[in-house]
Amino acid sequence: MDLTKLEEIQLDCAKRVIKIEVLKEIKTVGGIDVTFESSKENPTKAWACIVIISLDTLKPIYQKIIEDIVDFPYIPTFLAFRELPLMKRVYTEAKSKPDVIFIDGQGISHPRGCGIASHFGVEVGAVTVGVAKKKLLGNYEPPKETRGSYSYLIYNGEVIGVVLRTKDKVKPLFVSIGHKISLEKAIELVLRTSIYRIPEPLRLAHNLLQRLRKQVLGK
DNA sequence: GCGACAG
DNA sequence: ATCTTGTCGC
């Protein structure tokens, strides 16, 4: 594989990212996650799941899982080339589409401005938010211990996202613009959909996949 | 060269 | 991400 070529794709994708609000009303939020059968084998079986919740109740109103084979390895800053195919397929085949989609990973907080959440948003033409459990790059001050507190993630003197506390005294999340949304709105949505550390759409999608994986592995 | 390094 | 058990704190 030629990583230089893939870097060019990411740079081109970054130019097409829209960093402002385009939605006037948001009623549903979705989350897409991927899990793998094996962490060692390279071509390996994998599953992608989308869960859509109602912003009013925070309860799921739609969910779908697809299965496929993944052969691209995990390489830091190139995550999209491993997980995007599965994510795009589960989204395309879903009979219902959410107003906004949370993606497990970075949005524009990426060395070339195109993490998986932005990449997905641009390719699918959807509104997305990057919700990562760890930082990929940038510097920040620890946010206060109370839920709702946040500090800015800075890279090259620019704000590329926030470090957001979604639960008191629990490790914060790294939230960034994915596509067609403002950072302020992204923060508001992640907070509004978080009961536990991880926002409901992603937490539920992750839980469904973990249960399926254990079932398949016979445990 | 050394440390960092989404999932 | 996955590999893995119990354990401490709210």
State the nucleotide closest to A214 in CA–C1' terms.
Answer: C2
The residues facing A66 across adjacent strands are A48
Go through the domains of chain A in sequence order and give each one's CATH number: 23-216 (3.30.2170.10)
CA-closest candidate to residue A19, choices A107, A116, A133, A149: A107
Q: Which two tokens stand for residue A183?
A: 């950072």
Mean pLDDT over residues A173-186, rounded? 98
Task: Give the pLDDT confidence score for residue A162 in this predicted structure.
Answer: 98
Could you report the per-residue pLDDT of A107-128, keeping only the tens digit for each?
999 999 999 999 999 999 999 9
A218 touches strand B (CB under 7 A): no
Task: Give the pLDDT confidence score for residue A219 in this predicted structure.
Answer: 67
The C-alpha atoms of residue A102 and residue A205 are separated, in whole angstroms, by 11
Distance from residue A171's CA to nucleotide C10's C1', rounded to whole Å = 15
Q: Is the pLDDT of residue A79 over 70?
A: yes
Give the residue with minimal CA–C1' separation from B5: A76
Mean pLDDT, chain A, as a whole number?
97
The pLDDT-based confidence of A40 (bands split at 50, 70, 90) is confident
A182 touches strand B (CB under 7 A): no
User: Residues 25-54, chain A: which have Cβ under 7 A from strand B?
Assistant: 33-34, 39
Could you report the per-residue pLDDT of A15-39, keeping only the tens digit for each?
999 999 999 999 999 999 999 999 8
